[in-house]
């Protein structure tokens, strides 16, 4: 079995611009603190985080 480190983040399209910018800068700083992230999946809608999409990106 092979393990893949996945970083999954969601920022809804309906969010205000200021909130999106704060989220993006916080996410980038947090991500820099982590080691070994192999796949990043960004989503704006819950349907973009389905198990099939996650499996497809992680393989």
- What residues does each domain of the chain span? 6-58
What pLDDT score was predicted for residue 11?
Answer: 85
With H, G, I as helix, E, B as strand and everything else as coil, classify residue 33.
Answer: helix
23-59 pLDDT tens trace: 888 988 888 888 888 888 888 888 888 889 888 887 7
What pLDDT score was predicted for residue 18?
Answer: 94
Mean pLDDT, range 6-20, rounded to an integer: 88
Whether 37 contacts 8, CB under 8 Å:
no
CA distance 43 to 8: 8
pTM equals 0.63
What pLDDT score was predicted for residue 33?
Answer: 87
- Structurally, at CATH architecture level, domain 6-58 sits in 3-Layer(aba) Sandwich (3.40)
What pLDDT score was predicted for residue 17?
Answer: 93
């Amino acid at each position: 079995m092979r393990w893949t480190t996945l970083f999954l983040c969601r920022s809804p399209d309906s969010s205000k611009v200021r909130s999106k910018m704060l989220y993006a800068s916080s996410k980038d700083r947090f991500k820099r603190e982590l080691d070994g992230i192999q796949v990043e999946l960004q989503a704006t809608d819950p349907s973009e985080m389905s198990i099939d999409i996650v499996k497809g990106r992680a393989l």
